[in-house]
Amino acid sequence: MTPPRTRHLPLALALFTAPLGFVVANAAYAWATRAGGDDSTGANALALASAHPGLYRLGSLAAMVGSLLMVPAMLGARRLIGDRSRRLGFLGTVLVAAGYICYFAIAFNGIGNVVMAERGDHAADYAAVIDGVESEPTVVWVFPLFALGNLVGTLLLGLALLRARVVPIWAAAGVVAWPPLHVIGLVTGSEWFEVAGAVTQAAGLAAAGLRLLSAPPGSGRPAA
């Protein structure tokens, strides 16, 4: 029979590594905006990318990798939760996976912003392109779906982990902490709240990965 660690290793590794991408991405953005600036408009995004191209690239790449790995990570979380909180776990993991698939597309645009900023010409036209893409009717749905998965999905996931009792309470609380900390950061304009939330989420999902590794083959439940 396949050893438990080998059976669940790929999904557990995704639970360990996926949230680290968002720790790096949020930290890079926080450092880039430490003296002001944002990417709320095309012009602002170009100015930020021009001032901090290395951090902008790093944040975009880390967010893309993290988003990609969030899909197998949610498969691992769903397997760990199992039947102990089936509906809540299913809804939470599906929303998170769908949200971060959308976030991959959003983060990919960041690389284009850096390339346009580095050209240094036609800045007004480039800014108009960025704004136009974000308001394009055929893709505008990506943004609310990401927000739904990022905030509501993560909250439901943390509650499912708590209800299923498959991770310590502190680990489930760490996952639940991400949505409110993210909202506080948006309201206050400080990215450091998002960094703190990304760290707590990473700790919580890492604990889920450890528990998944202890589960026997054919089951997501930790060994007794």
Residue 144 lies in a domain: yes
Q: Residue 201: inside a domain, yes or no? A: yes
Per-residue pLDDT of the chain (224 residues; tens, 9 = 90+): 444 556 789 999 999 999 999 999 999 999 999 989 999 999 999 999 999 999 999 999 999 999 999 999 999 999 999 999 999 999 999 999 999 999 999 999 999 999 999 998 888 999 999 999 989 999 999 999 999 999 999 999 999 999 999 999 999 999 999 999 999 999 999 999 999 999 999 999 999 999 999 876 555 555 44
DSSP string, 162-194: HHHT-S-HHHHHHHHHHHHHHHHHHHHT-THHH
Domain that holds residue 19: 4-213
For the chain, the domain total comes to 1
Other beta carbons within 10 Å of 153: 25
Residue spans of alpha helices (H) in the chain: 4-32, 42-51, 53-81, 86-119, 123-135, 142-147, 154-164, 169-188, 192-213
Prediction pTM value = 0.90
Q: Using CA atoms, how far apart are residues 213 and 33, in angstroms rounded to an integer? A: 38
Is 224 inside a domain boundary?
no
Is position 223 within any domain? no
Tokens of 31: 């450092």
